[in-house]
């Protein structure tokens, strides 16, 4: 199992989500950390990955032991434009 670390931005993004969406995102991150399963793709044009959880995207970096969640938000917002 990989350790999940949230940046300050990701923690604020997660707190701002509706309760059901927050639970889905947390469950998606935990599932990916434990099993490696999930809708994950590398980002185009920059380093990192995205995990799709319903209408939400989790932008993250990872190494052998940790997952660093950088941003969490809806696909329709500027989640991919944040740097």
- 14: exposed, middle or buried (C-beta count within 10 Å: 0-12, 13-18, 19+)? buried
Q: What is the pLDDT of residue 80?
A: 61
d(CA 69, CA 78): 16
User: What average pLDDT does range 61-72 have in this prediction?
Assistant: 94
| Average pLDDT over the chain, rounded to an integer | 91
d(CA 18, CA 41): 25
pLDDT category of residue 81 using cuts at 50, 70 and 90: low
Q: What is the pLDDT of residue 45?
A: 85
Encode pLDDT of 5-43 as tens digits. Answer: 999 999 999 999 999 999 999 999 999 999 999 999 999
Q: Which domains does the chain have, with CATH numbers?
A: 3-74 (3.30.2310.20)
pTM of the model: 0.88
Find, among 70, 35, 68, 74, the residue nearest to 52 by Cα.
Answer: 74
């Amino acid at each position: 199992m990989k350790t999940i670390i949230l940046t300050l931005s990701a923690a604020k993004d997660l707190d701002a989500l509706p309760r059901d969406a927050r639970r889905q995102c947390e469950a998606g991150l935990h599932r990916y950390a434990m099993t490696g399963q999930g809708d994950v793709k590398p980002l185009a044009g920059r380093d990192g990955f995205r995990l799709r959880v319903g209408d939400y995207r989790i932008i993250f970096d990872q190494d052998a032991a940790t997952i660093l969640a950088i941003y969490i938000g809806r696909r329709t917002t500027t989640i991919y434009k944040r740097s």
